[in-house]
Amino acid sequence: MKLKSSRYTLRLLTLTISATASSGPVLAEGFFDDTQANLKLRNFYMNRNFVDNGPAKAVPGPTKHGEADEWTQSFILDVRSGFTPGPIGFGVDALGLYSIKLDGGRGTYGTQLLPTHDGNKPADDFGRLAVAGKLKISQTELKVGEWMPVLPIVRADDGRSLPQTLEGAQITSKDITDVTLYAGQFTGNSQRNDASMERLSLNTAGTVVHGKNTITADHFNFAGAEYTFNDKRTMVGAWYGQLEDIYQQRYVQLVHSQPIGNVTVGANLGYFIGDEDGAALAGGQNNRTFSGLFSVKTGASVFYLGLQRVSGEAAWQRIAGTSGATLANDSYNWSYEGEKERSWQLRHDYDFAGWGVPGLTMMNRFIKGTNVHTATVDDGEDRGRESELAYVIQSGTFKSLAVRWRNSTLRRNYGTNSSFDENRLIIQYPLSIL
């Protein structure tokens, strides 16, 4: 399957624009009236203080100060049109991304809030304009261009200044009640700290030389199906992904939530089967990953238990820079996805609404992993403790303004610069424009 997304996007856009121009005011009903635009102002401060650096303990960290410290102000404009009327509706989505450095230099680079150039100098600013054309027939939509996909097997990461985007085409169909079908192809990847569109690669393979990975693929092909039933309390999903000549991945998922009296118990179970694909450019990719996240919600608390087990001869697979959030033990800093790694997590979320402070929440979690295999260790261990204190303003002019303080520690007894204490302060204000 070969597909030049930019050409298709242009065609779709031309069709959309001519359809919009020719049918005049009728369009207002769909294309314009249903347009939504939102501008997120995101202020992000992050400090990572490297400690106990594995075998290279003598080196305090990757930077002069043994710490990474950066601060940005970002603007995320998200515009989604409605569809032109008629049996085939056309529309367009755009994501305008721009981030400015408020603080940071060569001495303290490395939070990934910003791209770095010329000997690790963080950029003064960076950004992208991602545009996608869309077409809709009944409940089936085709999207072509660049956007931020969030699928279990390709989850664009939005954990820093600006979200990651990918380029490609996707069909999503909801024509069958309670079923969603997905199929598509990605051809390019712009990571969260990169202004350019690059070729696709596997997150654990290749070497990045001048911003380009040495092991890349032309396409990531995928398909998936999700079925929701039981009053929407149960969902089963099945997915397939293929990063051509690098890896293939199958994924099955079961999500269930069950109220029992005043308590709600939940489970999110997933199983991945990974293998090398075609020419196996990144070597053997035999992988099995089980992920289970169990929860109990009672009153203002939610308690979680996460269990994860990676087996086979390779780490869990994902496209470079995408989030690991499909895994139970994903966290701010690591997803405990190393080759043969076993991990468990205990987490507690608390909502202070009951104390008369709606909008105030607290999260604490601890994750422990063992049996990590890398080129240098065959029984590596890691552990992380993470907390988030968040407050979202509930009313008035600054309604929805959110302040989040994330404090965490990560310790790994393998690798270099892999252990650190970290603080993030994120102030985000969503402005609804349309």
Residues in contact with ligand BDP by CB under 6 A are 157, 159, 323-325, 330, 333-335
Would you say 251 and 152 are in contact if contact means Cβ atoms under 8 Å apart?
Answer: yes
CB of 324 to ligand BDP, least distance (A): 3
SS3 state of residue 241 = strand
Spatial separation of the C-alpha atoms in residues 303 and 305, rounded to whole Å? 7
Closer Cβ to ligand BDP, 292 or 324, answer by number = 324
CB of 134 to ligand BDP, least distance (A): 27
Would you say 227 and 256 are in contact if contact means Cβ atoms under 8 Å apart?
Answer: no
Token pair 């390709």: residue? 154
CB of 192 to ligand BDP, least distance (A): 8
Closer Cβ to ligand BDP, 20 or 323, answer by number = 323
CB of 43 to ligand BDP, least distance (A): 18
Closer Cβ to ligand BDP, 89 or 110, answer by number = 110
In single-letter form, the type of residue at position 318 comes to R
CB of 415 to ligand BDP, least distance (A): 13
In single-letter form, the type of residue at position 359 comes to G
Closer Cβ to ligand BDP, 186 or 316, answer by number = 316
DSSP assignment, residue 425?
Answer: E
Spatial separation of the C-alpha atoms in residues 88 and 122, rounded to whole Å? 46
| CA max distance for the chain | 70
CA 152 to chain centre: 10
In the bound state, the residue with its beta carbon closest to ligand BDP is 324
CA 177 to chain centre: 28
Spatial separation of the C-alpha atoms in residues 188 and 191, rounded to whole Å? 10
CB of 36 to ligand BDP, least distance (A): 26
Nearby residues of 33 by Cβ (< 8 Å), 6 or more positions away? 82
Spatial separation of the C-alpha atoms in residues 186 and 192, rounded to whole Å? 16
Residues of 266-294 as b/e, b for ≥16 C-beta within 10 angstroms? bebbbebebbbbeeebbeebebebbbbbe
Closer Cβ to ligand BDP, 155 or 340, answer by number = 155
Q: Which stretch of DSSP H or E encloses residue 271?
A: strand 263-276
Token pair 């490297």: residue? 50
CB of 325 to ligand BDP, least distance (A): 5
CB of 334 to ligand BDP, least distance (A): 5
Task: Copy the structure tokens of residue 412.
Answer: 């790994």
Closer Cβ to ligand BDP, 91 or 324, answer by number = 324
Task: Copy the structure tokens of residue 431.
Answer: 């402005």
Quote the strand ranges of 299-377, DSSP E.
Answer: 301-312, 342-351, 360-372
Closer Cβ to ligand BDP, 89 or 380, answer by number = 380
Closer Cβ to ligand BDP, 31 or 126, answer by number = 126
Spatial separation of the C-alpha atoms in residues 319 and 248, rounded to whole Å? 11
In degrees to the nearest 10, what's the CA dihedral of 152, 149, 403, 301?
-20
CB of 161 to ligand BDP, least distance (A): 12
Closer Cβ to ligand BDP, 67 or 157, answer by number = 157
Closer Cβ to ligand BDP, 340 or 406, answer by number = 406
Q: Which stretch of DSSP H or E encloses residue 8?
A: helix 5-22
CB of 1 to ligand BDP, least distance (A): 28
Closer Cβ to ligand BDP, 159 or 358, answer by number = 159
CB of 92 to ligand BDP, least distance (A): 28
